[in-house]
Amino acid sequence: MPLGYVDAMLRFNLTDHTVITESLSPEVLKEWLGGTGLGVKYMYDEVDPLTAWDDPENRMILATGPLAGTSVKGSGNYCVVTKGPMTGGLATTQANGFWGAFLKFCGYQGIVLQGQSPEWVYIYIDEDKVEIKSAAHLVGLDTIQTQQALHKEYQLKPTQLSVCCIGPAGENLVRFACLAGDYGHVAAHNGVGAVLGAKKVKAIAVRRGKKSVAVFDKDALRELAAQINETAKSTPAGGDCYQWGTNAGHPVLHRIGGLPVKNLTTSIFPENVDYDGKVLREKFAYKKKPCWGCDWNHCGTLKITSGPFQGFESDEPEYEAMVATGPLIGVTDPALSLMLADRIDRLGIDCNETGWLVAWVMECFEKGYLTAQDLDGLEMTWGNFAGTKSLLENVAAREGFGSLLAEGVMRAAKKIGGPALECAVFTDKGNSPRGHDHRAIWYEYLDTCVSSTGTIETTGGGINVRQHKLEPISDPFSWEQIAMQNAAVSGRRVFEDSLGICRISAAEDINLTILALKAATGEEFTHESAMRTGKRVVNLMRVYNTKAGITAENDKPSPRYSSTPVDGPAAGRSVGAVFEQMKERYYELMGWDKKTGIPLPETLKGLGLANVIKETK
């Protein structure tokens, strides 16, 4: 077994409540690493692409990687891979916290869930003690209540027992339900919570194990971990996040037109300064609550100290959650956004899809496409806090009109049709953007539309392209430069998501990350081999999704998503006008057929995937 890894995977057959431990070969570990890579490998080998997301034959893989549980900061990460209900293709999404490290300390690289339990259960893992137990007492609880109940049941603290779970939305198979754990960490994208709900698994609790992670060069890894951490802090964005969290991005994005406001009807949000991370922590009482092995001020809790909601306390929402409950839906009071974001997490729904959904409903209400009668009596005006809260409850419970909205923006909009469809924001695969106005951020726009994961796949925040021997683009609105840069760095984020580490604190410099991987495993990884690993996973996902029926025709934005900003810094810049050219050039540079987006045989052969060429015919 290569150092840095553990070769054991737990496989749960939920249909008959059996559990087995299986070994991973050194070759599989070195080729697919862990996390996203390992999960995609399992899905390709075991799940027919035409299998429905809620079929018992679908798998859900939760996996760590070779750097999880090591001295690298933020190495409690885990990745979820399954077939997602939003796109019908692969879902890959990550969460930080403690879960990944605790699983590694129990001696497991990951778990595989298959089948469907006849009744609600939860999973408990404590090294060799692995149990499938009744969750009858947990059904109906929100994600915080579920974690609290299990911590009380086992008389363990959150630093001793890590729980990831679903809320009411996952139980009711809301298509954009998520997994939540460690009181504030969410694996959100492409409806992974609905998949867990379909399998009738309420929670997966992992007690911190006592097994150590064997690494090749402990001292070198410790030194590299410190260097990686300091390098991440030294960048402008990293420094702001280290001190003030991701909400430091609000004024930055507003300055470039990248803050999404009122369903993309405008790019102007004067209150953006009130949502700045520094301002939030000065206004509310902040308490630091870092992830496993991390020293950043990125994560914590906020407590409202004055006004009508004085005393309310919750996990500090990330930037995307504050956008979804603030500018995107016309709320201008951060206290109200804080409470809505908390409710979203408790119900167990993806904040991004939720924000676009509520914003779409509000615009439709404003323009008369939807009425209060349609909306079960709710007056969904812009910024309506009480109305939004009620709507969220209806969606999570699939009650009334909420049952249609629980299908997500694309399906709800297509069902209603007419002018309501014209103002909905989504891609034709079914996923919605992250919390940005991508009409001003073209590299994330292209990424969102062509991704195989149900969310961004290639970019994920700023990448220092000089680490890839590239010069930064000179024009952020040049479709040629965007296509070239995205193709050149494709695979990097997938490689990092296979390691069990946080992108923010531990993956700023890919060359240092590779050195850390070498120190952990003793294997001779290079920049070229790391990128090749990532590109191999990207191409295997593309082949799988093609077989699932997702084509180049689905790699396109909705009319509103492709619209031209009418104001703000990006006013008049039309990404929609050049999108098809940009997409075709990206396909070509990726080594895919520029019309179909299917990987070419020579591309697959060059990545060691000659065995899947037959699947592209």
Spatial distance between the Cα atoms of 451 and 464, rounded to a whole number of angstroms: 20
pLDDT in tens, 247-269: 999 999 999 999 999 999 999 99
Question: Does 191 reside within a domain?
Answer: yes
3-state helix, strand, coil in the chain (%, to 5): 45, 15, 45
Q: What is the pLDDT of residue 154?
A: 98
- Asked if residues 202 and 163 have their Cβ atoms less than 8 Å apart, the reply is no
Question: Does 255 reside within a domain?
Answer: no
Confidence band of 3 (pLDDT split at 50, 70, 90): low
Confidence band of 173 (pLDDT split at 50, 70, 90): very high
Question: Does 501 reside within a domain?
Answer: yes
Confidence band of 531 (pLDDT split at 50, 70, 90): very high
pLDDT in tens, 129-167: 999 999 999 999 999 999 999 999 999 999 999 999 999
Confidence band of 460 (pLDDT split at 50, 70, 90): confident
Would you call 441 exposed, middle or buried from its count of C-beta atoms within 10 A (0-12, 13-18, 19+)? Answer: buried
Question: Does 557 reside within a domain?
Answer: yes
Spatial distance between the Cα atoms of 64 and 101, rounded to a whole number of angstroms: 8
Q: Which residues pair with 81 in a beta bridge?
A: 61, 92
Question: Does 405 reside within a domain?
Answer: no
- Asked if residues 72 and 516 have their Cβ atoms less than 8 Å apart, the reply is yes
Question: Does 248 reside within a domain?
Answer: no
Task: Please give the average per-residue pLDDT across 200-204, as a whole number.
Answer: 98
Query: CA angle, corner 178, sides to 174 and 183, nearest 5?
Result: 135
Helix (H) or strand (E) holding 444: helix 442-450
* 3-state SS string for 559-584: CCCCCCCCCCCCCCCCCCCCHHHHHH
Q: Mean pLDDT, the chain, as a whole number?
A: 96
Which residues of 127-214 form beta strands (DSSP E)?
129-134, 161-165, 179-181, 185-187, 201-207
**Residue 477 sits in a domain of what CATH number?**
1.10.599.10
Q: Which domain-ending residue is among 207, 237, 253?
A: 207
Question: Does 586 reside within a domain?
Answer: yes
Spatial distance between the Cα atoms of 574 and 438, rounded to a whole number of angstroms: 11
Question: What's 274's DSSP letter?
Answer: G
Q: Which domain-ending residue is among 207, 233, 257?
A: 207
Q: What is the pLDDT of residue 590?
A: 98
**Residue 68 sits in a domain of what CATH number?**
3.60.9.10
Tell me which residue range forms the domain holding 191. Answer: 8-207
Pairing between strand 110-114 and 60-63? antiparallel
pLDDT in tens, 359-397: 999 999 999 999 999 999 999 999 999 999 999 999 999
Task: Please give the average per-residue pLDDT across 290-306, as a whole number.
Answer: 93
pLDDT in tens, 69-128: 999 999 999 999 999 999 999 999 999 999 999 999 999 999 999 999 999 999 999 999
CA-based R_g, the chain, Å: 22
Q: Does the pLDDT at position 1 exceed 90?
A: no
Task: Take residue 452 and report the two structure tokens written for it.
Answer: 């195989």
Q: What is the pLDDT of residue 4?
A: 66
Spatial distance between the Cα atoms of 298 and 257, rounded to a whole number of angstroms: 24
Which among 23, 30, 72, 82 has a CA at the least distance from the CA of 51?
82
Ramachandran class of 44: left when φ > 0, alpha when ψ lies in -120 to 50, beta otherwise: alpha
Spatial distance between the Cα atoms of 449 and 550, rounded to a whole number of angstroms: 12
The residue with greater pLDDT, 506 or 252, is 252
Number of H helices, E strands in the chain: 25, 15
Q: Does the pLDDT at position 236 exceed 90?
A: no
Spatial distance between the Cα atoms of 33 and 37, rounded to a whole number of angstroms: 6
Q: What is the pLDDT of residue 413?
A: 98
Q: Which domain-ending residue is among 155, 181, 207?
A: 207
Spatial distance between the Cα atoms of 478 and 482, rounded to a whole number of angstroms: 6
- How far from 223 is each of 77, 134, 295, 501, 522, CA to CA, in Å? 20, 45, 15, 16, 16
Over pLDDT 70: what percentage of the chain?
A: 99
Q: What is the pLDDT of residue 461?
A: 74
Spatial distance between the Cα atoms of 507 and 96, rounded to a whole number of angstroms: 13
Please, what is the end-to-end C-alpha distance for the chain in angstroms? 37
Question: Does 322 reside within a domain?
Answer: no
pLDDT in tens, 14-53: 999 999 999 999 999 999 999 999 999 999 999 999 999 9
Give the total number of structural domains in the chain. 2
